[in-house]
Homo-oligomer: A and B are copies of this chain.
Amino acid sequence: MSRFAPRPEPPYYAVIFTAQRADGDHGYDETAARMAELAAQQPGYLGVESTRDEAGLGITVSYWRTTDDLMAWRRQLEHSVARNNGRAQWYTHYELRVAKVERAYGWDRADGKRPGDGGA
């Protein structure tokens, strides 16, 4: 399975979540997997890209069709996080940014060329 999100036609929305994990799991892995599964079922979900280094710094970018879609998911996510009392145990610091994607392109070695702005 690709770890890259699809490349829909802009505009769409990105939620950029940069976070430093605290030590210990505290149910994180299980909850994160469930949240990812739930997110993928939400209206307006376009995809996600996520990575984390050995020092525990992670960046997760999820993509959404509209701000309404991402706000609906955020409400649901916050309920879940609150239920699990996760934030205070899982992270020492995070930054969250909501941004409107205006241009996008990608490159693959197999193609060897840049498809140009926008497009699938």
Chain A residues with CB under 8 Å of chain B are 3-5, 7, 14, 16, 18, 20, 22, 49-54, 57-59, 61, 87-88, 91-109, 112
> DSSP majority for the A interface?
strand
A18 to B108, alpha carbons, bound, how many Å?
A: 12
A100 to B52, alpha carbons, bound, how many Å?
A: 24
A51 to B104, alpha carbons, bound, how many Å?
A: 20
User: 4 additional contacts, CB 8 Å, given A91-B107, A97-B101?
Assistant: A5-B18, A22-B109, A50-B59, A98-B101
Least Cβ distance of A90 to chain B in Å? 10
Residues of chain B lying within 8 A (CB to CB) of residue A107: 87, 91, 93-94
- Are the C-beta atoms of A88 and B112 separated by less than 8 Å? yes
- Are the C-beta atoms of B93 and A109 separated by less than 8 Å? yes
- Are the C-beta atoms of B18 and A16 separated by less than 8 Å? no
Least Cβ distance of A82 to chain B in Å? 12
Closest 6 CB pairs of A and B: A99-B99, A59-B59, A95-B106, A97-B104, A99-B101, A98-B103
